[in-house]
Amino acid sequence: MELRQLEHFIAVADELNFSRAARRVHLVQSALSASIARLEKELGVALVDRSRRQITLSAAGAVFLTQAHEVLAAARRARDAVVKYQDQLAGTVQLGTLMSAGALDLPAALGKFRTRYPLIQVRLQQSAAGSVGHLAAIADGTLDLALISTPGRTVAAVDVQPLTSEPLLFVCRPEHHLAGHNTVDVADLSGEHLIQFAPGWGVRRMVDQALADAGVTVATTYEVADYHTAAELTRHRLGSTIMPATDAGRFPDLRALPLQPEVRWTLYLAAPRHLSPAAAALADELLRPVPDR
């Protein structure tokens, strides 16, 4: 059974005349009669009483007419529901993320993107190797886009654009000997027990570089994979840590102090030179201005 057969039957039911009904649906009368006959054969029941000069609907035809109208109305509603998507982008975007997006409100950005492009699926992936792992995945095509915080060793096939920037802060217990300072000189961290992050992570590479520039050696007591764990270990007197200002602000029971000289953590968007339309649309959303701290 096809929708056009229902349209043919409704025309016959309305006109009660094959000739007028045929003109209404733009068919010759013989073609319309054949369409109704096929419908009746498929249903196994006569829908039209042809025994008189003026055709009428059979009892089955009268019941079927109501159902035919409902089916066509449902079909129109289905078409109307999807017509707004006719020219919309579709596809899947693999986005590499970090344990923090700093001042970038990633959930809000993804929410706006989904509203604009409901047919695009975004899959979030993290890498144990942090930014370095994401850059490698962009280069080999495993990821379409990635948030990274260390652009220093990009490859020719990868473009990197800054999204937002903020200072790194020294985070310690309130009773720590540096907690009463307004700022912490990097040189004063000599011998400090630091809770750090994996060597491939951007924040770790920035901290290591700042320490090296100051000629300072610290004791890395733990390497962890998220800021909450670093904060929890700090609370338990197992060391101090360094993290971006946005994330440090999530632990108000700990002291968070700017470093001198300032060490800035910057979030970047990494992308291959050639993007799919879906990935390009997401990149545009993520590149909307975000205020620095």
- Phi and psi at 209, nearest 5°, equal -70, -40
Structural domain contains residue 130 = no
Query: Residue 293's pLDDT is what?
Result: 60
The CATH number of the domain holding residue 201 is: 3.40.190.290
Structural domain contains residue 188 = yes
Query: Residue 100's pLDDT is what?
Result: 84
Structural domain contains residue 79 = no
**Domain span including residue 246:** 165-265
Structural domain contains residue 101 = no
Structural domain contains residue 247 = yes
Q: What is the pLDDT of residues 10-63, one digit of tens each?
A: 999 998 989 998 998 898 999 999 999 999 999 999 999 988 878 899 999 999
Query: Residue 224's pLDDT is what?
Result: 94
Structural domain contains residue 229 = yes
Query: Residue 201's pLDDT is what?
Result: 83
Structural domain contains residue 232 = yes
- Which uninterrupted H or E stretch holds 79? helix 59-83
Cβ neighbour number for residue 121 with a 10 Å cutoff: 13
Question: CA-to-CA distance for 149 and 202, rounded, in angstroms?
Answer: 5
Q: With a cut of 50, list the residues of the chain below it in pLDDT.
A: none
Q: DSSP alpha helices (H): ranges in 150-249?
A: 202-213, 227-235, 245-248
Q: Which residues are CB-contacts of 280 (< 8 A; sequence separation ≥ 6)?
A: none
Q: What is the pLDDT of residues 164-178, one digit of tens each?
A: 999 999 999 999 999
Distance of CA 133 to the CA centre of its chain: 20
Structural domain contains residue 228 = yes
Say how many domains are in the chain: 1
Contact 133, 127 (CB under 8 A): yes
